[in-house]
Structure 1
Amino acid sequence: MELVFSGQVIEWRGPSPYFFVPVPEEESADIREVATMASYGWGVIPVQARIGEVSFRTSLFPKEGGYLLPLKTAVRGPQGLSAGDDVTVEMTVRLQT
């Protein structure tokens, strides 16, 4: 499943700060339809994503009926991304076979 969406980088200030892009509701609904074929446990969904020139693998975190795309420093750093920045995400949900 391939998706393209735009969103704003948010910061979660827990014990360790972390950055995410919330997946919009429409795309989250599409992901929920294939979640059982994609998740390898705890509701996380493996994806291949691209923001700008940076391509990366990660897993979506389920949150309040939607999903959050985590952004490691290796993804944010080269593009100078921080909380509040708008980004376009190209993402492929990696289905388990």
Structure 2
Amino acid sequence: MFEFEATLWRWRDEGTWHFLTLPEDVTDEIDELIPHKAGFGSVKVEVTVGASTWRTSVFPSKELATFILPVKKAVRQAEGCGEGDRIRVRLRVET
């Protein structure tokens, strides 16, 4: 289980996709845990933000040299968070 804080950002400053960037140390540990990743290098995870828990995948970002985590609209609304907010995350890799 990983716990960290990250800032919510919107994909290319347009549209509806919002993400969190995983810290480098978390990315390094995930790379060690899961050496053979699924399509596009994604890794299945369970995420908790506030009272919301959901399953999704983290995806590698070559541009950022780390994984990024999509945060769906329903979670953003339920937790009252938006672009630029600092968010506390619990993340568990599904092996």
Identity of aligned residues (%): 30
RMSD: 1.6
Q: Give every structure 1 segment of 4 or more consecutive aligned residues whose post-TM-superposition deviation is greater than 4 Å.
A: none
The number of residues matched between the two structures is 93
- Flag the structure with higher strand content: 1
> Does 2:73 correspond to 1:73?
yes
Letter in structure 1 aligned against 2:38: Y
Letter in structure 2 aligned against 1:71: V
Residues 56-75 of structure 1, C-alpha deviation per residue, up to 9 Å, x if partnerless?
11000101231001001111
In 2: Cα distance, 1:40 partner to 1:74 partner: 25
Residues 28-57 of structure 1, C-alpha deviation per residue, up to 9 Å, x if partnerless?
1111112335x3222001000000000011
Instruction: Give the 3-state SS of the residue equivalent to 1:21 in structure 2.
Output: strand
TM-score by length of structure 2 reads: 0.89
Aligned residue runs from structure 1 range 13-28, under 5 A? 13=12, 16-28=15-27
Letter in structure 2 aligned against 1:8: T
Residues 12-43 of structure 1, C-alpha deviation per residue, up to 9 Å, x if partnerless?
03774310010001111111112335x32220
TM-score by length of structure 1 reads: 0.87
- Structure 1 gaps of 5+ residues are none
Q: Is the 8 A contact 1:35 1:43 kept in 2?
A: no
